[in-house]
Chains A and B, each alone.
Chain A
C-alpha cells in the first residue's frame, strides 16, 4: 500500500491520479446470504421488464387470459411490425435521435469549455461571479419557466426538436459545469503550462491536453445526457408544436390514448424505443460509476 501512496510524481501527475480498479480482495469468503437477498430483491426490477417483453410477444387473445405474467406461447412477432407501421416509428426515431445528438454533443462541449475557462481564471472575479450565476440558476425547474419558454422558442422558430435539444443543453449547463469543474481542479496546471511552452494556443491546449483527460467525465455527462434526452417526455411534448416532429415518448403517449385496446402493440413499441438506450448503456456502463467517482472526490 505504501508504494501506491508515493507514486504521484511531478513529471507524470495524471498517471498518479488515475485510480486503478481495486482488485477484489482474494481469500475473502463470498457472502451468500447477501447474494440471495440481492437476487430476490432484483426481481422487483426484472419482473416488470419480463412483463413488458412478454406483453410485446403476445396476441390480444393471449393477453386476455391470466395475469399477464404467463409465458408468451406461441410467440407473436407481428406486434413489432404493427407498432412500427402505426406510429410512423422511423420519423419519431430520427426526431429523438436529433434531440439526443444535440443534447449529448452540446452538453459535453459547452459545459467542459465553460468549466475549464472558469477554473483556470478563478482569480478573476468575473469568472467566479459567472460560476455563482450558473449555480444559482441550477434550481430553476422546467415547469417554472415552461410557459414563457414555449412562447419564446415558438417566436424564434425553435418550437421543434432543435429547440428541445438546445434546452436540454441549457438546463443541464449548471450541473455539468459543476461536475466538470470539480474534475478539472484535480488536473495539475503544470501539464497545461508545459503544453503552452511547446507553443500551444489556448484552444489547442484544451483540445490536445485537457479534453483527453476529461474523457471519463465526458463519458459520464454524455451517457446521462443521452438517457435523459432520449427518454424525456415533458419538454418535447410542450415545446414541439407540430405533432409530426414529435419524439418517440410523445408519439407513444399519443399512441396510448388512441389505441388503448391493443396493449401488445403498445408494448412492442416501448421495447423498440428502449433498445438504443439499453445498448448504449451496456456499452458505457463501466464509465458511469468511475466518472462520477472521479468527479465527486474533491
Chain B
C-alpha cells in the first residue's frame, strides 16, 4: 500500500485507492485469465445441472404433467409416492442390488488386484484380459448374458442334472436380481480393479520385504499392511460403485427390462416412466427422494473418509 508514495513504480497504478479498484478487488481478486478459465465452466455447470435440479424440485410440489397449466399440490406427490407399491418395490430392489453388488465388486476387485500385483506369469497379459469388460457397453453385455442365462446355461444344467439352473434365472422373480448383480459386477469390477491396482503399486515393496523377514504370514500381511494402506482406495471405490449401482439402468433394461413383473424395476426406470405417463411431477417427487437417499449415503461415506484421513 505504501507503493503510492513511489510514483515511478508501475505497482502504484494497481494499488491506487479508488472505488473502481475496490470493486475490482472484491469481485475480481485475480488475473482475468483465471476467471475466463473457471466462470464459463461454472456457469454452464449451473445452467445444465443445478438449474434443472431446482426446477424439478419446484415441480415436485405441483401437479404439472409435463406441459400445460399446473398448480401447487403441496406434499401430495410425496405422500402418493410413499404409498405406491411400484415405487416402494423399486427402492427395495435397487437398494438390495446396490449393496450386494457393491460388496461383490469391491471384494472381488481387491482380491484380483492383489493377485494381479503378485509375481505371476504373464502379468501384463492377464491385466489386459481383466480390464477388457471396460470397453463393452453395459447394454451389449446384458444382451450377451441374457442369451447365456436363458439359452446356454439351462441346456448345460439339464445335461448335468443341476436343477436350480435348468430354467433361466432371469425368468424367476426371486432369482432375477442375482443375475443382475452378477452382470453389473462383471461390468464394474475392472474400474474398481484399476483403482486398487493403482493403490497397490504405490505401496513400496520394501515394506513387504521387511514384513517377510520378520516372518509375517500372507494373511497377516494383508490384514496389517495391505488393507490399511488400500483403505482410502477402498472408500473411493465404494463411493463410486455404489453411486453408479444406485442409478442402474442399462443393465436392468438389457437383462430383464424390469421383469419378471416388476421384480427388477430399478428406481431410474420408474423415474424415467414420468416421460410417458403424464407423471412428470409425481416422478419428480420420486427423483427428489432418490436424490436425498443418494446424498445420505454420500455424506455417510464422506464422513468415513474424513475419519480415516483418506483421499479427498
User: Using a CB–CB distance below 8 Å, which chain A residues touch chain B?
Assistant: 1, 22, 24-25, 28-32, 34-35, 37-39, 41-42, 44-46, 48-49, 51-52, 55, 66-69, 110-111, 113-114, 116-118, 120-121, 124, 126-127, 130, 133-135, 137-152, 166-167, 170-171, 173, 178, 182, 201-203, 206, 227, 230-234, 238, 249, 252-253, 256, 263, 266-267, 270, 273-274, 277-278, 280-282, 285, 288-290, 292-293, 296-297
Nearest CB of A to B136, in Å: 6
Quick one: which of B66, B199, B253 contacts A296, CB cutoff 8 A? Answer: B199
Neighbouring A residues of B247 by C-beta, 8 Å = 141-143
User: Using a CB–CB distance below 8 Å, which chain B residues touch chain A?
Assistant: 29-31, 33-35, 37-38, 41-42, 44-45, 48-53, 55-56, 59, 66, 112, 115-116, 118-123, 126, 128-141, 143-145, 147-148, 151-152, 155-156, 186, 194-195, 197-199, 201-202, 205-206, 232-233, 236, 243, 246-247, 249-250, 253-254, 267-268, 271-272, 274-275, 280, 283-284, 287-288, 290-291, 294-295, 298, 311-312
Neighbouring B residues of A41 by C-beta, 8 Å = 112
Provide the bound-state CA to CA distance between A22 and B291, in Å.
43
Q: Are A256's CB and B143's CB within 8 A? A: yes
Quick one: which of B41, B250, B295 contacts A234, CB cutoff 8 A? Answer: B250
Q: Are B197's CB and A289's CB within 8 A? A: yes
Provide the bound-state CA to CA distance between A91 and B192, in Å.
33
CB-nearest residue of chain A to B26: A126
Provide the bound-state CA to CA distance between A293 and B233, in Å.
10
Neighbouring B residues of A266 by C-beta, 8 Å = 143
Q: Are A38's CB and B120's CB within 8 A? A: yes
Q: Are B115's CB and A38's CB within 8 A? A: yes
Provide the bound-state CA to CA distance between A183 and B213, in Å.
35
Quick one: which of B30, B199, B280, B295 contacts A121, CB cutoff 8 A? Answer: B30
6 contacts between A and B (CB under 8 A): A48-B186, A67-B152, A110-B41, A274-B140, A292-B198, A296-B202
Neighbouring A residues of B205 by C-beta, 8 Å = 22, 25
Chain A binding surface, main DSSP class: helix
Q: Report if A51-B120 is in contact (Cβ < 8 Å); known contacts: A139-B243, A296-B198.
A: no
Q: Are B42's CB and A51's CB within 8 A? A: no
Q: Report if A137-B294 is in contact (Cβ < 8 Å); known contacts: A227-B134, A296-B311.
A: no
Nearest CB of A to B42, in Å: 6
Quick one: which of A46, A69, A142, A249 contacts B129, CB cutoff 8 A? Answer: A46
Chain B binding surface, main DSSP class: helix
Provide the bound-state CA to CA distance between A167 and B48, in Å.
7
Q: Report if A288-B138 is in contact (Cβ < 8 Å); known contacts: A35-B122, A45-B133.
A: no
Given contacts A39-B126, A138-B298, A147-B283, 20 further A-B contacts (CB under 8 A): A25-B119, A34-B115, A37-B115, A41-B112, A42-B129, A42-B130, A48-B141, A48-B145, A135-B312, A151-B66, A173-B45, A202-B33, A227-B134, A227-B135, A231-B135, A234-B250, A252-B143, A263-B147, A292-B194, A296-B195
Provide the bound-state CA to CA distance between A277 and B140, in Å.
13
Q: Are A253's CB and B38's CB within 8 A? A: no
Nearest CB of A to B277, in Å: 12
Neighbouring B residues of A203 by C-beta, 8 Å = 33
CB-nearest residue of chain B to A297: B202
Provide the bound-state CA to CA distance between A249 and B251, in Å.
12
